[in-house]
Structure formats: C-alpha cells, structure tokens
C-alpha cells in the first residue's frame, strides 16, 4: 500500500496545528540562528514505520532541516539502535520533536503488532493471511493501514466503496440475508460481496445466495472446523472476532483464508523512541 504525499501532508498539518497554532513560547527561548544536530534511538525491538510523516513534520516547519536515515519502513530495529541523524535550526527541531515522534511511535507500534501475528501465521504454514479492519483512529486510516502493510498484513477495504460487507444490521434493514445479497448483485455485479454470518444456517444461506466470501463472526475454533466442512471451498472464509495473539494458532487452520484482527489498529502500544541532541 502507498499513501499519497497529499494525505501525509494533511495528516501532519492537522497534527502541527494542535501543537503550534497559537505559537510555541518554549521554543522562543532558543536564540535565533542557533543550530543543532542529533539522532533517534529505538529503545526496544520493533518494526519501523513512518518515515514520510516524520520528514513532513520538519519539511513544514523548516525545509532546511537535514534528515539521514539508516533504515526504511518495514525494517527491523534492535533495542538501543541509532537509526536516524538530523541537523538544522534548533527551534524548528524542538517544535516538531513531539509531533514527529508521535507519528513514528504510533505507526511503528502498529507495524510491530502486525508482524508478530504474521510471523505466527507464517510459521504455521497453513496459508492463512492476516487482515486489518476499519477500526482505526479517526483521520489516520491511510497511515494505519500503511503501517499494517509494513508489518506484512493484507489490507481489507479502506473505504466503504471498495466492496460489499453485509453485516447483521444491513440484513435487518433489508429483510433477509438472501434479499440483501440479491439487492447488492443488482446494484453491482462485479464488486466483491462478503457476508458476516453468526450461525451455520446463515453460512449455508450465504453459499446458496451466491456470496463471494463469508466472515465467521465470533466463531470458536470448533465452530470454524464445522464451517469448513459445510463450506467445502464454496466461499472464501474470514475469521473475525475474539482472535488474539494467544489463540491465533487455534484459528489458523487449513481452509481458512483470512483472519482479521481489529486490535492491530485500535489497541495501540507505541514503540519507545528517543530524539537526542548531540553535545
């Protein structure tokens, strides 16, 4: 996945506005023309993500700031590794420090979480792929989806226009699962159609009605095995709900195509980075 420069620019513009729209009285203590240099340190093992956002912070504050990277997005960082060096006007560096760190610590945290799940799935060798969800921070979906991809995740739909995902409330509003699928096919014969199912009968109905994919919502591993027997390869199957790092292996069985995990983007654990000025 790629994120356009316009999206990155707007993400950063909003973030800087939160900090400095009314000014920065502390950075005003720095003498005019004072220059500084320094480096970034990673305090724990992590997957790095967020270079474009970090750079854009300082591009908007002072384009004369120089940033030299020793890593790219998706690279593994060791604890205490120095991975970036910078130099430029001290006041601008200090103004952007928190905003720039916020972006890379959040996005690296998302990428790191995704990689942990992907590594487990790869080791199992069942062919199951990890999906993200739309449970993202408002206004930062593209950034977080990019981060999950850096961690090895497959992006599920980014916007509501990309495919049909029929859920319980859609079915209630339309009258029945079959009627909902028929309506969707009339509206678009080419868009992928996924249906969330909560019972085996709903899975059978989704198969009969001609869905492309079924989301097995909050199924136990035993229920997933039963669903695989019913499905017999008719639909692509996604397991979602209740999956975590502790039980991931229980769900990653042959015949399941995807496992989606909302916690990748909604339950954030930021990576610990430090920005240090040189003496």
By annotation, the residues acting in catalysis are: 135
Are residues 135 and 99 in contact, defined by beta-carbon separation less than 8 angstroms? no
Residue 172, Ramachandran bin (φ over 0: left; ψ between -120 and 50: alpha; else beta): alpha
Return the number of other C-beta atoms located less than 10 Å from residue 222's C-beta.
9
The enclosing H or E element of 77 equals strand 76-77
Are residues 155 and 162 in contact, defined by beta-carbon separation less than 8 angstroms? no
The rounded distance, in Å, linking the Cα atoms of 264 and 134 is: 10
Name the one residue in this structure whose structure tokens are 């495919």: 163
How many angstroms separate the first and last alpha carbons of the chain? 39
Phi, psi (rounded to 5 degrees) for 40? -105, 140
Count of positions (residues) in the chain: 279
CA dihedral 6, 9, 11, 14 (to 10 degrees): -120
């Amino acid at each position: 996945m790629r994120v356009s420069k316009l999206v990155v620019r707007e993400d950063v513009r909003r973030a800087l506005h939160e900090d400095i729209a009314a000014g920065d009285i502390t950075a005003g203590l720095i003498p005019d023309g004072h220059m500084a240099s320094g480096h970034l340190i990673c305090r724990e093992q992590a997957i790095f993500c967020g270079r474009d956002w970090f750079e854009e912070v300082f591009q908007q504050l002072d384009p004369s700031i120089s940033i030299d990277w020793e890593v790219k997005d998706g690279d593994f960082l060791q604890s205490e590794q120095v991975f970036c060096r910078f130099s430029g006007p001290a006041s601008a560096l200090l103004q952007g420090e928190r905003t720039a760190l916020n972006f890379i610590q959040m996005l690296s945290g998302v990428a790191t979480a995704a990689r942990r799940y992907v590594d487990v799935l790869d080791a199992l060798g069942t062919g199951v792929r990890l999906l993200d969800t739309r449970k993202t921070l408002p206004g930062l979906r593209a950034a977080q989806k990019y981060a999950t991809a850096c961690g090895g995740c497959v992006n599920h739909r980014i916007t509501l226009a990309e495919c049909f995902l029929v859920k319980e409330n859609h079915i209630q509003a339309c009258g029945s699962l079959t009627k909902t699928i028929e309506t969707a096919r009339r509206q678009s014969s080419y868009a992928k159609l996924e249906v969330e199912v909560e019972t085996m009968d709903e899975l059978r109905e989704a198969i009969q009605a001609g869905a492309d994919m079924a989301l097995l919502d909050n199924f136990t591993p035993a229920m997933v095995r039963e669903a695989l027997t019913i499905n017999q390869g008719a639909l692509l199957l996604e397991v979602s709900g209740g999956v975590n790092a502790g039980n991931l292996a229980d769900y990653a069985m042959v015949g399941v195509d995807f496992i989606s995990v909302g916690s990748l983007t909604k339950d954030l654990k930021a990576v610990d980075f430090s920005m240090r000025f040189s003496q």
